[in-house]
Structure 1
Amino acid sequence: MTSSGTKTTVQEWIAHDPDPQTAAELSECSPEELDERFARSLTFGTAGLRGPLRGGPNGMNLAVVLRTTWAVAKVLKDRGMDGSQVVVGRDARHRSDEFARAAAEVLAAEGFEVVLLLAAVPTPVVAFTVRHMHAAAGIQITASHNPPTDNGYKVYFEGGLQIVGSTAAEIEAAIAEAPFADEIPRAVVETGGMSEIAHYVERAANVRRAKAPVRVAFTPLHGVGGEYAMDTFVRAGITDVHVVEKQFAPDPDFPTVSLPNPEEPGATDALLELAAEVEADVAIALDPDADRCAVGIPTPDGWRMLSGDETGWLLGDFILEQVEPGEVMDSTVVASTVVSSRMLAAIAAAHGAHYVETLTGFKWLSRADDDLPGKTMVYAYEEAIGHCVDPAAVRDKDGISAAVLVCDLIGVLKEHGRTVLDCLDELARRHGVHTTTAVSRPVADADEAAAVLARLRDTPPDRLAGYEVTVTDLSTSDGPLQSDALILAGGDAETSVRMVVRPSGTEPKVKSYIEVRRDCGNGDLQTARAEAQRVRDELVALAEQW
């Protein structure tokens, strides 16, 4: 049964809900459903707030947006940033327009100078605009690649950097003090920001340096990236682009895919079919808010999508090849996360650049060079197809500028009679075969995720694929990698194995990130890859039991 405390909270929430639809929805919920919706509020995860569109504090709705924005304003004021500029944007999901306008109106009523972007925009446009305008903060209404029933609220502070845990905690504390949603003042805001959107497109196009022709198959997966990417391609001189027509226009229901995530099986089937049909050089898929970029390539066995790690190796090496050796290279930083492949570290070492490993998420990657005076980050990536290829402009993952750089790479390779597969083979010979994958275990909520990690901490495996295991519990670390994650690692002179287990910061899942490295030695790549994949499959079977 619903507790008396919860009843009071529900009654107050419904009485002050500014949206009659969600108020009525809550009034019809069972006591058990109300307990679930009011047991906890949405909290800031890896990339902000995300949740289902529904009433109550544990969903995305108008009341949550109003109270969260009031809290953001309070934190900014507490830091002495009264009256400063704040950028507000949104994607094309259900209710994104309404939520963005509500957030802008709260900020305006609190005395901030608000730039409410006039159209649905990719998330990196907001990150760019905050940085370019030297704004105090930015808010993007988006749930990225989550199901169509979700929406979310992403916050950037100064420099266009995602907020970290300490700031998120301040905002969450302020939310607890926020007035009832219908008592929060709002002021009318006009839309604008057209010039900033144009600046973003121009900057993203300038990522391309070579001008070799390239044929592209492209899909924005029903998201907001389609027109922006096409404008950027044209400005970059990439004109031979073929689009998946049925997926080009924004559609919040994502009708042609089961999940609007380029990493999901089947999501890029239409793209790869088009790529084969038009004999493209490369296939590119953006996720719905266009901050992530997935890449497909032709192979002797047909088209396939690259993993985020494979794309990360290729772009990292491509960027470092263009950095001047010596002092310039010594001051150059590349970064990836604790759950990403170790190969970028080897690539950086071979070039003489500095490598940084961070926690999962671009709120950490964007700060990878913070404690390195005199050094500057030029590239960062995470295995979940997130790539930051122009950190000076966008300190976040940016699918559109990454797509432009991928086309640049493909064009350069074509000019030299080489392919992506040739590049991957060359990297494997230099640094060893690296085989990666991830296993996701769905959980009901954060409590079940914590229980899975607790069991693994209490009884970790003593061997991985026959190799003795060293366990590193990042929850007990006092360094920059402190987090709720376990690293299991082992190996010998020829083979190393590694698994990182952590709860997802955006979805109800526990994820196991697996990497097997196999030294090629004087043997052939095919044999090394086969052995690495055999070991990887053993680790996948183990992770599926947890």
Structure 2
Amino acid sequence: MSEELIKAKSNLSKLAFENLQKWLLDEKYHEFKAQILNLIKNEDWDELEDAFFKILEFGTAGRRGKVGAGSNRINLVTISESVQALANYLKSLDINSLSVAIAWDVRNSSCELSKKCAEILAANNIEVFYFDTPRSTPELSFTVRNLKTSAGIVISASHNPPKDNGIKIYWNDGAQISAPHDKKLMKIAKNIEEFKTGNFDEFVKNGKIKILGEENDYSYIKANAKLSLSKNRNVKIIFSPIHGTGTTNLLKTLQFVGFENIILVDEQMNFDGNFSTLQDRKPNPENLSANRMAILKLRKEQADIALTTDPDADRICVMSLEKNGEVRSFSGNQTAILVTDYILSKKQKDRNKYAELYFGNRNFICKSFVTTDMLNVLAKKYGVKIYDDLLVGFKFIGKKISQKEALGEKFIAGFEESLGGLIGSQTRDKDAATIGLMIAELASELKLKNQTLGERLDEIYAENGYFVEKTESLEFSGAEGFAKMQEIMQKIRIGNKNFGALKMRDFENLSELDFSTNKKNSFKMLENGNAVSFIFDSEDRRITIRPSGTEPKMKFYAQWRFENKQDCVNIENILSDFKEKILDEC
């Protein structure tokens, strides 16, 4: 054993050392050898432990993590293993003329990684449709459906910091890969020892890789435009893609349908994988810091609304300039409420009551189980079905759409609390373009009534109840953090502590514990997963704990219905007190 390996063995965990040893000795990882040896020389044991303590797993949206050397990192090897596994799995199925569409976002490593994906697939005699410049994730989903490819790939780390990247794999319905395909693919990926590859330019010349361009873009934008529900276009809009691909989907959609008064945040319109105009370099539109320039522009121009998108343009943040001069930034839940009420109220006017007498109302909406319960109330109000037996991850909404459309039902909209939503069935992933279009139309109609988005949201609450949500995260980085998250979830599931709740719902085992009787009952979800909910004095007052599937953090979701508007501020203390109890007792 070399001197470097001896030092590493005495400073790393058993699993981290085993993975590191493999990466140093196996020729497949030779390009990373110098980088790893340098980390050992500098005795950067924390970095090495984090880079090798596990194999980067598939989460809710594929593989995502830091870019660098290691089994727990995104790099040419881990990406190649994932893509070779996809190629092997596709070839094991009885499918003629295999093909895969590939898109990538603005991150610094995305172009290189996406080309490697294309080379591997082409070397496996799988036809590749490749975007040669950055595109949004929802356009990839649309392209899979439109071109009827066998699968799709997006290279993106969504709203993560610049040091991260990732891969999301899509199935032939345009949705993110889900059971049983995801589990079968993961099993194959674990045993990949080598992968085929070739030269990108040669594959383009011989036609195995086909470059996608404006014709495909036009088909996607035109499909979005067909969702329009109003002809009013009088709203004044501020737009920023925060250096991402929002220029290729949301901006083009708004322009295509005739919105002309769009003012751009010029400093953020360029593709920039470093997200240079953001002080913290975090391009997450859920954060105030990412929207600062758009808010300043909104005030300066006295516009009506501002829209920002994350790097792969599947998430959108909506902001409104209210009459008191304040900017109101809407959460994902609040945007979902505004959009759902707008769409369902429009569609109610067009309902064919005679057809419904014979066939029933076949329209439905979807939401994850941690998304606002106001959507359940609105669905009931407008006579539309709602499916909320879905874990976090838009792949579950995509899967539900496919299931219900096969039974003759019609999908209207789907939502997640984290600024994600989709209108219409042209894609199977969240799409900032379709949500942005609905918001722009709603704001235009409200402007004719001298009303703002904020005023309309307050009306909906007053009419239907005060449903308030609050989400917070705790960081658990590195091997110790990963182990701590697992420990907390294990202790919670034992059920010895009720933390003031009446019931505990375990989404991994699909069992509900009643603390008063100590009895367990089963419940149904589309799929099980790693999350636990505590239900307090009613079903619409609960807090959920869930380790993220793509980031080293644990999320806490509080969902609470208040009787009075003035009580809504209590959500902060409710969630804070609960978190404190969990951390103290687990």
Common fold by TM > 0.5: yes
Change (3 A) 1:179 1:117: same
Residue 308 of structure 1 is matched in structure 2 by 332
CA-to-aligned-CA distance 1:20-50 (integer Å, 9 cap, x gap): 3x33212323284545433321111111110
Residue 29 of structure 1 is matched in structure 2 by 39
| C-alpha contact (below 8 Å) 2:373/2:540 kept by paired residues | no
| C-alpha contact (below 8 Å) 1:490/1:497 kept by paired residues | yes
| C-alpha contact (below 8 Å) 2:320/2:452 kept by paired residues | no
1:539 equivalenced with 2:575 (yes/no): yes
Q: Given the alignment, which residue of 390, 399, 407 partners 1:367?
A: 399
- CA–CA separation in structure 1 for the residues paired with 2:445 and 2:365: 22
Q: Which amino acid aligns with 1:454?
A: Q
Residue 403 of structure 1 is matched in structure 2 by 436
| C-alpha contact (below 8 Å) 1:6/1:35 kept by paired residues | no
- When structure 1 is superposed on structure 2, of 472-481 and 505-514 the one drifting more is 472-481
Residue 193 of structure 1 is matched in structure 2 by 212
- CA–CA separation in structure 1 for the residues paired with 2:38 and 2:242: 35
- CA–CA separation in structure 1 for the residues paired with 2:266 and 2:283: 16
1:215 equivalenced with 2:236 (yes/no): yes
CA-to-aligned-CA distance 1:471-494 (integer Å, 9 cap, x gap): 1111221732522111111236xx
- CA–CA separation in structure 2 for the residues paired with 1:509 and 1:460: 24
CA-to-aligned-CA distance 1:191-250 (integer Å, 9 cap, x gap): 521111221122223333323211101110111222543322211101111111111111
Q: What's the secondary structure of 1:294's corresponding residue?
A: strand
- CA–CA separation in structure 1 for the residues paired with 2:536 and 2:18: 50
1:265 equivalenced with 2:285 (yes/no): no
- CA–CA separation in structure 2 for the residues paired with 1:107 and 1:272: 43
Q: Given the alignment, which residue of 165, 169, 184 partners 1:155?
A: 169
For residues 173-252 of structure 1, the aligned pairs below 5 Å read 173-180=187-194, 184=197, 188-190=202-204, 191-194=210-213, 195-212=215-232, 213-252=234-273
Unpaired stretches in structure 1, ≥5 consecutive residues:
520-527
Change (3 A) 1:36 1:490: closer
CA-to-aligned-CA distance 1:499-543 (integer Å, 9 cap, x gap): 111101121111110111023xxxxxxxx1221322442323322
Residue 462 of structure 2 is matched in structure 1 by 429
For residues 351-390 of structure 1, the aligned pairs below 5 Å read 351-357=382-388, 358-372=390-404, 373-390=407-424
CA-to-aligned-CA distance 1:313-355 (integer Å, 9 cap, x gap): 1111111122233428710110111111111011001111000
Residue 88 of structure 2 is matched in structure 1 by 74
1:52 equivalenced with 2:66 (yes/no): yes
| C-alpha contact (below 8 Å) 1:282/1:297 kept by paired residues | yes
| C-alpha contact (below 8 Å) 2:398/2:429 kept by paired residues | yes
Q: What's the secondary structure of 1:152's corresponding residue?
A: strand
- When structure 1 is superposed on structure 2, of 503-512 and 167-176 the one drifting more is 167-176
Residue 504 of structure 2 is matched in structure 1 by 471
Q: What's the secondary structure of 2:289's corresponding residue?
A: coil
- CA–CA separation in structure 2 for the residues paired with 1:382 and 1:6: 36
Residue 452 of structure 1 is matched in structure 2 by 488
Q: Given the alignment, which residue of 84, 102, 116 partners 2:98?
A: 84
Change (3 A) 1:92 1:6: closer
For residues 114-133 of structure 1, the aligned pairs below 5 Å read 114-133=128-147
| C-alpha contact (below 8 Å) 1:105/1:189 kept by paired residues | yes
1:16 equivalenced with 2:38 (yes/no): no
Q: What's the secondary structure of 2:412's corresponding residue?
A: strand
Change (3 A) 1:281 1:142: same
1:334 equivalenced with 2:365 (yes/no): yes
- Alpha-carbon offset, residue 93 of structure 1: 0.3
Q: What's the secondary structure of 1:471's corresponding residue?
A: strand
| C-alpha contact (below 8 Å) 2:23/2:33 kept by paired residues | no
**Percent identical residues:** 26
Residue 523 of structure 1 is matched in structure 2 by none
CA-atom RMSD in angstroms: 2.2
Q: Which amino acid aligns with 1:359?
A: L
- Alpha-carbon offset, residue 164 of structure 1: 1.1
| C-alpha contact (below 8 Å) 1:272/1:304 kept by paired residues | no
Q: If the length of structure 2 is used for normalisation, what is the TM-score?
A: 0.85
- CA–CA separation in structure 2 for the residues paired with 1:51 and 1:371: 31
1:513 equivalenced with 2:526 (yes/no): no
Change (3 A) 1:165 1:94: farther
| C-alpha contact (below 8 Å) 1:70/1:184 kept by paired residues | no
| C-alpha contact (below 8 Å) 2:242/2:310 kept by paired residues | yes
Q: Given the alignment, which residue of 287, 291, 305 partners 2:310?
A: 287
- CA–CA separation in structure 2 for the residues paired with 1:24 and 1:97: 23
- CA–CA separation in structure 1 for the residues paired with 2:360 and 2:391: 24
Q: Which amino acid aligns with 2:294?
A: L
- CA–CA separation in structure 2 for the residues paired with 1:342 and 1:230: 30
Q: What's the secondary structure of 1:24's corresponding residue?
A: helix
Q: What's the secondary structure of 2:180's corresponding residue?
A: helix
Change (3 A) 1:529 1:242: same
Change (3 A) 1:472 1:139: same
Residue 318 of structure 1 is matched in structure 2 by 342
| C-alpha contact (below 8 Å) 1:137/1:156 kept by paired residues | yes
Q: Which amino acid aligns with 1:139?
A: I
Q: What's the secondary structure of 1:23's corresponding residue?
A: helix
| C-alpha contact (below 8 Å) 1:473/1:487 kept by paired residues | yes
- When structure 1 is superposed on structure 2, of 82-91 and 202-211 the one drifting more is 202-211
How many residues in Structure 1 have an aligned counterpart in Structure 2?
A: 528
Q: What's the secondary structure of 2:438's corresponding residue?
A: helix
| C-alpha contact (below 8 Å) 1:122/1:225 kept by paired residues | yes
| C-alpha contact (below 8 Å) 2:20/2:70 kept by paired residues | no
Q: Given the alignment, which residue of 393, 403, 412 partners 2:426?
A: 393
- CA–CA separation in structure 1 for the residues paired with 2:440 and 2:368: 25
- CA–CA separation in structure 1 for the residues paired with 2:382 and 2:574: 33
- Alpha-carbon offset, residue 370 of structure 1: 4.2
Change (3 A) 1:280 1:476: same
Q: What's the secondary structure of 1:268's corresponding residue?
A: helix
- CA–CA separation in structure 2 for the residues paired with 1:184 and 1:303: 51
Residue 491 of structure 1 is matched in structure 2 by 537
- Alpha-carbon offset, residue 424 of structure 1: 1.4
- When structure 1 is superposed on structure 2, of 415-424 and 259-268 the one drifting more is 415-424
- Alpha-carbon offset, residue 177 of structure 1: 2.3
